[in-house]
Structure 1
Amino acid sequence: MRLAGAALNQTPIDWQNNLRNICEAIQLAQDADVELLCLPELCLTGYGCEDLFLHDWLSETALLHLQQVRQCCTDPNMVVCVGLPVRLNGQTYNTACVIRNQEILGFAAKQFMANDGVHYEPRFFTSWRPGTTATFTFNGEEYTIGDLVFEHQGVRFGFEICEDAWRPASDRPAGRLKPRGVQLIVNPSASHFAMSKTDVRYQLVLKASRDYQVTYLYANLLGNEAGRITYDGEILIARNGQLITRNQLLSFKDVDLEFADVDFAVEPPVAADITPLPTPDEYRELNQALSLALFDYLRKARSKGFVLSLSGGADSCMCAVGVAELVRLGVLELGAEAFMRKVGTFTEDEIRFAVEYAQLPGAPLVGPESASDTGGRSQAVSHSAMQTTGSEKMTLNQQLTRRLLTCAYQGTVNSSDDTYLSAKDVADNIGAVFFSWDIDQEVKGYTGKIEHALGRELSWKTDDLTLQNIQARVRAPSIWMLANVLNCLLITTSNRSEAAVGYCTMDGDTAGSISPIAGVDKAFVKQWLVWAEAELGYYGLHRVNNLAPTAELRPLEDKQTDERDLMPYPLLNRIERLAFYERLSPQQVLTQLEGELNADIDPELLKTYVKRFYSLWSRNQWKRERYAPSFHLDDYNLDPRSWLRFPILSGGFAAELGAL
């Protein structure tokens, strides 16, 4: 039997897009003589519909659109498995509908709901009781739903739907399917991306195929579906512990189909050991996921591009390179014309120019080659056209980046030449539009108003945080205005380490539409930039990679750095992980760190750092509640909407810290 999985880039309740992708996958499978096609979990509605799953009309609309999917299933030799919700008697079930030759054979229902990390499925769905079935009627037709086994061309198959496969062996459906004569287990999934997670998923699928001596077909969603969560589009086919096929992950395509032939008449030996995957390159993984997440967010938000307050620091530089990589990787996979059409913001003239430019002898398509230096700290470049002055010296990718990314350096008397030159180097290197202005007058204006109202001068000795915050906050209105004028998404650049301790200014450096790296810790950001300079060739990162992270909000002679204000970032990240990923108490965290660090740090200083972390964490939950939407890229994050909930008001660990 020729088996296929299709990864689909869907969007919640975007019926036209979702149906188009589903029907395209079915047509591709039919053209390839596929006999069983697995589409991802809830691909008809989209997985991220959230509380809409509790609405009767959503399930009814999905069932209506399912009739259109039926019309696409015209091959009598092919079975199609498509995911959608079914709502019965006030309860919603997560199902996979099995269709053959335009006939619905039944709805297999998910038995276990994911309720950890980014998933809150029990809020929306009811678990189906194993071993039971029911019937329901829709538009005059009666259907069977529940714990079902199907047969196609003499092969019996059943389902594990995503979370079903992650349960212990004593619970998961596979153990009950095998005694029912099942030879093939089909798994439609919506399994979120996290760095190195593909290795866990690979082991899960191959071990299941070995332990239950079955063929296992797995198909995942693809892309940034609903804003925060990205799916890698993984397709796996395994048999008796041996991998048959696996696709390339994180594609920029809407539909990615992978198929393989399995001879069910011949039983191969069961693998004694699972062949491990090569160790994932987390820098490359994150690069691909971040780029795809930005690409999908841009086009699904129907925005014209991005605006970024480029400070010259590590976080803003990573965001800028992320947009450049969105362009490079998208053009590399799709080609310039298809990429530009899919983004949806380029004019026909711009597309024609790009296609003609790409055909010029020696016109490079990929790589961060240098743009011409247009010079000057106060330069202002037209945003509207790709045919800018000096464009003949730019790569096509730089010109596309120029069209999608506008940056501004907003300096004060406390800003250094190092950070300005760092910002300019990066902008020139990737081809982004680059503006520069200072905000000293605005800062003086607000400071003067408050001094007049209070009847005293503000000073660094008495008003340190206030004088820092006003600089960050004054930057927001102008960069927001630029984003509004250009109809672009404003990127905010906070990272996870800053979010943990509130090292940011609300309505200042946190202002923005989207916070792409808020799930990535600062130490990883710094390491990633070094990798991007060395491996991707972004030489414009050289200056930032030699700077100590600093907010540059105090006078230059103070030599402010982030780690002087807080603690070493690697230690901050370790405390954070022990506290909220490992879920240890403050005393347990301190004890664990004392064992790990031994004599590498003064015990009293370590205790000070632990107390500082918990105190800052507790008082800054309100900031984390107000962050712009962020991407889930690591194995956990601090976003209360997609991972970690914490009370805004609390005792602040006072008793626990007092006992240290």
Structure 2
Amino acid sequence: MAAIKIAGGPINQTPLDWKGNLQRIISAIEEAKTKQVDILCFPELAITGYGSEDLFLSIWFPNKALDQLHALIPHCKDITVAVGLPVRLENKVYNTMAIIKDGKLEGFVAKQFMAIDGVHYEFRWFTPWESNRLIDFDFFGEKVPFGDQIFQHGTMRYGFEICEDAWRGPVRPGYQLQKRGIDLIFNPSASHFAMGKTWERKELIEFSSKTFDCYYCYVNLLGNEAGRMIFDGECVLSHQGEILGRNQLLSFEDFQIVPFDLDPKPQAIAPLLEKEWEFTQASALGLHDYLRKSKSRGFVLSLSGGADSSSIAVLVAEMVRRGIKELGISRFCERLGLSSENQSEQSLMSQLLITAYQGTINSSQETFESAKNLAESLGATFYHWTIDEEVLSYTQKIENVLGRKLTWDSDDIALQNIQARSRSPIIWLLANIKGALLLSTSNRSEGDVGYATMDGDTSGSISPIAGVDKHFILHWLKWAEKNLNRSGLAQVNALQPSAELRPQENSQTDEKDLMPYEVIVEIEKLAIRDRRSPLDIYLILGEELSLEKPVLKGYIKKFFQLWSRNQWKRERYAPSFHLDQFNIDPKTWCRFPILSGGFAEELELLEQL
């Protein structure tokens, strides 16, 4: 086989940004040509963006994607380009890769298997293509082959498995491609980021190249494309079970050109990241893209001095630090519509993150100092005020109409919630004035059990940490203090997590209100991720946790009751990033009825043990 240079083209696209999407593809092609690339493969649905949702169901949207492909072809002289787009055919929509060789469309390959689990709902939009089926397709008056086919470049034969195609075990297209004597398989993907997922991909890619006795090239989308899912832009080449090359993931660039020589010797291989680094980098990139694509002018954060809001403040700081490091101050500012004149990391932080400590009579001096010191250490703008006057105004009005005083003995939840809710209008006002995104501070553990005040701490435009559990957040903050050199976290990490909504003499803590966070995590994994029953969870955790049986039963019962009761809250949470193996967002990963019997019979069985 003659020497051939291929490349993957991870690219950061946006649904309905037709001009921008096309220009990024063209710019990537031009860069690939300068690197003397023979075949350039973009990810699936690169022309439209993977997250176009129900736009795929329309007639005009896939047709416009074909128009974009038609406009792209003249830019593909002296190179072969594979690019993804939706194609409508006989009232069905197919997820395809178009292959253009030296300015001529050679044909389309259609995806054979749809991703239908977790955050993916591809069967809603796309129809699977049949194995070995090939038809003629009318492309602007020219008939081109469409379906299941392979292509040739010199003496090399290559084909495609499109994302989910590769995950279907013994029925995956790779086995048919092997029978056709394939030399190279491209896997153009839109595979969402999740902590630890690169290890799973590594195993799949190594297995694929060894099993099919070929080169296997994986190419993923890049960035926070449409709001919730983040793509890491991974590009990998493997041969006979060995990784030959891998790029650095989670880039802030619009695109990457990752060239590989089809040579069985290892090339540049970026290391796989630890979970803590993955979370940091994915969140930073997610925030950056959400900010610029929403055309907002910064972030506003109600900074309580506690773990959740502090972790978000640090993630914004990492967004600025990483963006400047990779893009330089000038390009970073240009992306966000800011002047780059006389700018530094510190000055950008003061513009992009505005924080406020909103104290009450129940707030402690320790949390105020924690919030203030952290904001100052990060360079964020810091304001502070009290909301006791607003809380008093609300409670007095209700006391007047009820004809009685509100007390902590009889009105505990209401008195807690009115404090959290009173913070919301003021911080929203600040965000509106600044043209900024309000950051919501809820985490996944709070979402599980509804330990959040609707229209209070759930208020926001985006909820960056709602996809991860509180136990991880507490661990990550200690890691970040050391590994990210964020000394302002020292006071945060010394505090016991507390809502600080009851009088201080009550010594309120989150875990006293709920249960230990490490227990919530274990129940959550089994109940939500693995969909186990309360009885199953009791039997499993009874062997794994050192808890007395009545205590464990109580925790499991409390979790399921609170979970069922608070689905309406989860339906209303701000959009969140998908960052872990699973999440509890009903618009993506986890659907659950708003009204239900609340596991009453299942919990009764548990009590009978």
Class of the TM-score when normalised by the shorter of the 2 chains: over 0.9
Contact 2:300 2:438 in 1 (8 A): yes
The aligned counterpart of 2:389 is: 441
Structure-1 residue corresponding to 2:204:
204
SS in 2 for 1:7: coil
Shift of 1:398: 1.8
In structure 2, the partner of 1:35 is: 38
Offset of 1:155 from its aligned partner?
0.9
Cα offset, 1:24, TM superposition: 1.1
Amino acid across the alignment from 2:158: F
The yes-or-no answer on 1:636 pairing with 2:582 is yes
Amino acid corresponding to residue 586 of structure 2 in structure 1: P
Contact preservation (8 Å) 2:190, 2:220:
yes
Helix, strand or coil: the match of 1:335?
Answer: helix
| Counterpart check, 1:656 vs 2:602 | yes
Aligned 8 A contact 2:216 2:237 in 1:
yes
- Is 1:319 aligned to residue 265 of structure 2? no
1:606 aligns with 2:566: no
Q: What is the aligned partner in structure 1 of residue 296 from structure 2?
A: 303
1:329 to 304, 322, 326: 322
Structure 2 CA distance for aligned equivalents of residues 135 and 161 of structure 1: 20
Superposition deviation, residue 262 in structure 1: 1.2
Once the two structures are superposed, residues 429-464 of structure 1 have per-residue CA deviations (whole angstroms, 9 ceiling, x without a partner) of: 001110000000100000001111111111000000
Partner in structure 1 of residue 120 of structure 2: 119
For residues 271 and 44 of structure 2, the distance between their equivalents in structure 1, rounded to whole angstroms, comes to: 27
Residue number among 342, 353, 369 corresponding to 1:353 in the alignment: 342
Other-structure match for 1:460: 408
Range 252-261 or range 555-564, more displaced: 252-261
Rounded Cα–Cα distance in structure 1 between residues aligned with 2:87 and 2:512: 55
Per-residue CA deviation, residues 8-51 of structure 1 (Å, 9 max, x unaligned), is 00111211111111111111111111111110110000000011
Letter in 1 for 2:369: L
Partner residue in 2 for 1:531: 479
Residue identity in the other structure for 1:456 = R
1:134 corresponds in structure 2 to 135
CA distance in 2, matches of 1:656, 1:319: 37
Matched, 1:578 2:581: no
Per the TM alignment, residue 278 of structure 1 is displaced from its structure 2 partner at its CA by 6.5
Whether 1:410 aligns to 2:358 is: yes
CA separation in 2, counterparts of 1:69 and 1:136?
18
Task: State the distance in 1 between where 2:114 and 2:101 align.
Answer: 28
What one-letter code is carried by the residue in structure 1 that aligns with 2:217? L
**Counterparts of 2:271 and 2:69, CA distance in 1:** 40
1:236 maps to 2:225: no
The 1-side partners of 2:541 and 2:240 are apart by: 43
Instruction: Give 1:293's aligned amino acid.
Output: G
Match of 2:175 in 1: 175
Q: In structure 2, what is the Cα distance between the partners aligned to 1:343 and 1:240? A: 44
Work out whether residues 615 and 652 of structure 1, in 8 Å CA contact, stay in contact via their aligned partners in 2: yes
Report Cα offsets for 1:524-571 as digits up to 9, x if no partner. Answer: 101111111111111111001010100000000000000000000000
Separation in structure 2 between the aligned mates of residue 617 and residue 156 of structure 1, nearest angstrom: 53
- Residue type of the partner of 1:613? F
Counterpart-to-counterpart distance in 1, 2:262 and 2:547:
58
Is structure 2 residue 111 aligned with structure 1 residue 79? no
Q: 1:207 deviation in Å?
A: 1.1
Matches within 5 A, 1:617-632: 617-632=563-578
1:141 is displaced (CA, Å) by 2.0
Compute the displacement of 1:136 (Å): 2.2
Cα distance in 2 for residues equivalent to 1:234 and 1:257:
11
Question: Structure 2 CA distance, aligned partners of 1:620 and 1:79?
Answer: 53
Q: Give me the whole-angstrom Cα distance separating, in 2, the residues matched to 1:310 and 1:157.
A: 54
Q: What corresponds to 2:57 in structure 1?
A: 54
Q: Could you say which residue in structure 2 is the equivalent of 1:560?
A: 508
Give, in angstroms, the shift of residue 127 of structure 1: 0.1
1:484 aligns with 2:432: yes
Tell me the CA shift for residue 139 of structure 1: 2.4
SS at match of 2:96: strand
Deviation for aligned residue 1:74: 1.2
Deviations 1:264-304 (A, max 9, x none): xxxx69x9xxxx99674111110000000000000000000
> Residues of 2 paired with 1:608 and 1:245: CA distance?
51
Structure 1 position 165, deviation (Å) = 0.5
1:367: which partner in 2?
none
Q: 2-side partners of 1:456 and 1:141: how far apart?
A: 81
Secondary structure of the 2:175 match is helix
Q: Deviations over 1:179-207 (max 9, x none)?
A: 11211101110001000101111111111
In 1, Cα distance between equivalents of 2:272 and 2:28: 31
Structure 1 position 218, deviation (Å): 1.2
Residue 157 of structure 1 corresponds to: 158
Which residue type is aligned with residue 35 of structure 2? A
Q: What is the CA–CA distance in structure 2 between the aligned matches of 1:639 and 1:398, rounded to whole Å?
A: 34
> Within the alignment, does 1:503 sit opposite 2:504 as a pair?
no
Matched position secondary structure for 1:256 = coil
**Aligned-residue offset at 1:583:** 1.3
What is the CA distance between 1:67 and its match in structure 2?
A: 1.3
Per the alignment, in what secondary structure is the counterpart of residue 152 of structure 2? strand
Query: Contact 1:324/1:398 (CA < 8 Å) preserved in 2?
Result: no
Residue 65 in structure 1 maps to residue 68 in structure 2 = yes
User: Could you tell me whether the CA contact under 8 Å between 2:246 and 2:270 is conserved in 1?
Assistant: no
* Structure-2 change in CA distance of 1:443 and 1:326 (3 Å): same
Note the C-alpha offset of 1:142.
1.9
* AA aligned opposite 1:619: R
Partner AA of 2:230 in structure 1:
T
| Separation of aligned partners in 2, 1:279 and 1:34 | 26
Q: In 2, are the aligned partners of 1:413 and 1:440 still within 8 Å (CA)?
A: yes
> Which consecutive unaligned segments of at least 5 residues does structure 1 have?
355-395
Match of 1:535, as an amino acid? N
| SS in structure 2 at match of 1:119 | coil
Structure 1 position 195 matched with structure 2 position 188: no
- Partners of 2:355 and 2:298 in 1: how far apart? 11
2:20 to 17, 20, 39: 17
Determine the C-alpha separation between the residues in 2 that align with 1:490 and 1:277.
35
TM-score, with structure 1 as normaliser: 0.90
2:281 to 283, 288, 309: 288
Corresponding residue to 1:339 among 326, 332, 335: 332
1:185 is matched with which residue? 185
Amino acid at match of 2:334: R
Contact 2:297 2:435 in 1 (8 A): yes
> Number of residues paired by the alignment?
601
Matched with 1:222 is 222
Return the alpha-carbon distance in structure 2 between the equivalents of residues 133 and 296 of structure 1: 39
Asked whether the 8 Å contact 2:198–2:272 carries over to 1, the reply is no
C-alpha separation between the residues in 1 aligned to 2:30 and 2:238?
Answer: 24
What is the CA distance between 1:156 and its match in structure 2? 0.8
2:380 pairs with 1:432: yes
Deviation track 1:41-63 (CA, whole Å, cap 9, x = no partner) reads 10000000011101110111000
Contact 1:11 1:226 in 2 (8 A): yes
Partner of 1:366: none
Q: Distance in 1 between matches of 2:196 and 2:273?
A: 6
Q: Is the 8 A contact 1:460 1:467 kept in 2?
A: yes
- Superposition TM-score, scaled by structure 2 size: 0.97
1:215, 1:240 within 8 Å by CA — same for their partners in 2? yes
* CA distance in 2 between partners of 1:277 and 1:624 (Å): 38
